[in-house]
Amino acid sequence: MVNHLAIIMDGNGRWAEERGLTRSDGHKAGARQIGVAARAAMKAGIKYLTLYAFSTENWKRPEPEVSCLMGLIQEFAQSELPNMMRDGVRLRTIGRTGDLPLASRMALEFAIKQTEKNDKLTINIALSYGGRAEIVDAVNKVIAEKRTTPLTEADFVSYLYAPDIPDPDLLIRTGGEMRLSNFLLWELSYAEFYVTDTYWPDFTEETLADALASFGGRKRRFGGLNKK
């Protein structure tokens, strides 16, 4: 059973280029699929959905593309709020969100506050996020506390961005690439991976069903041996 699903939403640009569209058109099409993925996840009984929307490295992209993405973040938080309230979806974010433009941050903070008591599905959006940055930020929190006792792994988890959210069971990467791209480096230690050539704007309930079927046929050992 998948309790926490993580998705690297890749392929927006290639999807657009193959159709003679701009990369911004691809991102707009990809933004619309978040609702599709959320509804499919709820139907499958998934409780947590973490989406890699904007990485720390994405700030290096051309300004018009970054501006488009920031606008889509704001639009998503505003336009999807009624749907999230209706469906019982709680919105969260992880990452260095203080780097986002004020309008985007305010829209997100308002939606997060409004949905904080919803409990059907938690959508956790990674924004200005990097797995290495998360670990560095956690270490800096430990240093700031001037802690003198040794840390356990459980202790360290409490300094991460979302310590109350369980680790992902399954990671889906769309677009066919075979890499983590600095995503949830700590949390994905024992997740199962599923890579599909499907671009993110073409993600459907059937895409998720295929991934869940693959997951269901695997044996998770967590470093140990199967019990007979």
Range of the domain at 133: 4-216
In a domain, 227, yes or no: no
- Tell me the pLDDT tens digit for each residue of 64-110: 999 999 999 999 999 999 999 999 999 999 999 999 999 999 999 99
Residue 75 lies in a domain: yes
Q: Look up residue 62 and give its amino acid.
A: P
Q: Please pick, among 10, 25, 124, 169, the residue that the annotation labels catalytic.
A: 10
Q: Is 58 annotated in the active site? A: yes
Q: In whole numbers, what is the pLDDT of the chain averaged over residues?
A: 95
pTM of the model: 0.94
Residue among 49, 84, 74 nearest 212 (CA): 49
Q: Which of 3, 12, 25, 58 is catalytic?
A: 58
- Spell out the residues 6+ positions from residue 86 whose beta carbon is closer than 8 angstroms to its own: none
Task: Name beta bridge partners: 193.
Answer: 171
Look at residue 191 and tell me if it is in a domain: yes
Determine the 3-state secondary structure of 61 from DSSP. coil
Q: 144-157: per-residue pLDDT in tens?
A: 999 889 999 999 99
- Give the count of domains, the chain: 1
221 within a domain of the structure (yes/no) = no
What is the C-alpha separation between 4 and 166, in angstroms, rounded? 7
> 85, 87, 86, 131: which is closest to 112 by C-alpha?
85
* Residue 140 annotated as catalytic: no
3-class SS string, 101-123: CHHHHHHHHHHHHHHCCCCCEEE
* Residue 228 within a domain: no
CB-CB neighbours of 217 under 10 Å: 6
Instruction: Report how far apart the first and last C-alpha atoms of the chain are (Å, whole number).
Output: 20
Residue 224 is assigned to a structural domain of this protein: no
The answer as to whether 47 is a domain residue is yes
Q: Which has the closest alpha carbon to 171: 189, 185, 191, 186? A: 191
**Block residue for tokens 């593309």:** 65
User: What is the tens place of the pLDDT at every residue in 158-191?
Assistant: 999 999 999 999 999 999 999 999 999 999 999 9
- Specify the CATH number for the domain of residue 113: 3.40.1180.10
